[in-house]
Amino acid sequence: MTTSHYIAGHWVEGQGSDCISVTDPALGQPFAELMAASVSQVDQAVAAARSALPAWKSTCASERAAFLRGFAEQLGQRREALVTLQMRNNGKPRHEAEIDLDDAIATFGYYAELAERLPSKKRTVPLAAPGFTARTRLEPVGVVGLIVPWNFPLVTSAWKLAPALAAGCTVVLKPSEVTPLIEQAYGQIADALGLPAGVLNIVNGKAETGAALSNHNGLDKLSFTGSNSVGSQVMRSASAQCRPVTLELGGKSAIVVFDDCDVDQAVEWIVAGITWNAGQMCSATSRLLVQDGIADALLPRLQAALENLRVGNPLTEEVDMGPLTSQAQWLKVASYFATAREEGLQCLAGGHALDREGWFVSPTLYTDVPKDSRLWTEEIFGPVLCARRFASEEQAIAEANDSRFGLVATVCSADLERAERVADALEVGHVWINSVQAVFVETSWGGTKGSGIGRELGPWGLSAYQSVKHVTRCLG
């Protein structure tokens, strides 16, 4: 699998110095290799996108919409292969991999509809001064670099790629080196649809490739999803070029459970929020705030639910949770288990790696975790839940907001007026009330504080790839 880069409408072999080993995390064994793109190949990809931009942004909106619908249809035709690859390379259970694919399909369909409405967005602007007229145009921002993570490949790239193409931008996409294979489907689909060469380019690689793209002076915008440490580097690169950037970064999100909540229902929401994708989500609700009146009933049931989860290889077993996606992430989560022991945290469930091949850890619950504990304040990116009790609504809001992150939160209460009030008070970008983390393409995605800059999905996702031009004319 050496021809893994899609540049100017052609599949080419990697010429970089890094060899990328693609691994099955359930076995801890590689199953594919590919060579990274070189810096010169990144240059070629950006040049191809720049060359394709004038024609692509001039295509009528209905033509771009037709291509987007084609992407949605082609993804559906590749369903079994893409679901299986998600299971094998990410370790996702089948039901999660299927939801990911459906999410990507829905995203392309949604932005096809928005693309068709673009001509109606041109409008005349009323002016107070006589003798002038003014109008607005929404134009594509230009050539954009898209850097996506390993925890939701195919999905995160769809969230960026679909609105960028709908807006009339051309793109260079860099997948994660941990999961570089599945995004190749987008290049294959581009070929099948006859997408003009250079509109979509895909370069795979490690840090060198990512730095070459994020530092490239041929980009007009950069959109990045990933860790805060890398995001800060991306932001520095963007600042040097004075270019716009969208950053979707980390989280340390809270789930707040009030004492009027149904215990069994609350357990379901809590478990889903921390074990989906083995907790490898920026939106994982890893801080549990449970009201005093329900804590003694809820925590034992939560402990039992976590201990009864079926953890295993999704390709050979019916499982609720798969492995961590990489050895590096497995080692990171294991280091937090060690920190918990050093801090003397009370562990009700899990707290250890599983003694089997592959990168498995146990779903974990710590209780009465101090607010200054590293496990309470730092993003772990694994199925590790920390719980604290609270007495009042005011205390719950204060502790939920006491974080350098502000991505999402969940509120569980039978009192809907209170739930809405708390949701409004939480300093985050998205709140669920009495629900699992259902994400819809029509809603926005993004956070406050250290969780990033900008929004994806919904009309806000399209706006991220558009610039506003005003045309003012003197009538004299």
With contact defined as beta carbons under 8 Å apart, do 248 and 224 qualify? Answer: yes
Backbone angles phi and psi of 127, in degrees to 5: -120, 145
Sign (positive/negative) of CA torsion 425, 427, 430, 432?
negative
**DSSP-derived secondary structure for 252-321:** --EEEE-TTS-HHHHHHHHHHHHHGGGG--TT---EEEEEHHHHHHHHHHHHHHHHT--BS-TTTS--SB
Six-digit token string for 323:
């492995």
Give the 3-state secondary structure percentages of the chain, helix then strand then coil, rounded to 5: 40, 20, 35
- Find the catalytic residue in 248, 379, 399, 456: 248
Q: Are 295 and 367 in contact (CB under 8 A)?
A: no
Distance, in Å, from the CA atom of 160 to the CA atom of 64, rounded to the nearest integer, reads: 15
Structure tokens belonging to residue 389: 């009790």
Closest alpha carbon to 323 in 87, 21, 98: 87
Lookup result for tokens 């970008």: 429
Q: How far, in whole angstroms, is CA 459 from its chain's centroid? A: 17
Q: Which of 261, 282, 386, 412 is catalytic?
A: 282
User: SS in 3 state form for 113-129?
Assistant: HHHHHHHHHCEEECCCC
Q: For residue 96, which of 356, 333, 255, 279 has the smallest C-alpha distance? A: 279
The dihedral through the CA atoms of 242, 43, 247, 370 has a sign that is negative
Which residue bears the tokens 């100017």?
A: 8
C-alpha span between 172 and 45 (Å, rounded): 6
Contact present, 61 and 119 (Cβ < 8 Å): yes
Q: What is the CA radius of gyration of the chain?
A: 23
Q: CA separation (Å) from 59 to 67, 118, 241, 257, 438?
A: 11, 12, 28, 51, 34
- Asked if residue 97 lies in contact with residue 86, where contact means CB atoms within 8 angstroms, the answer is yes
248 an active-site residue? yes
Measured N-to-C along each axis, helices 263-275 and 292-307 cross at an angle, to the nearest 10 degrees, of 60
Residues acting as catalytic residues: 248, 282
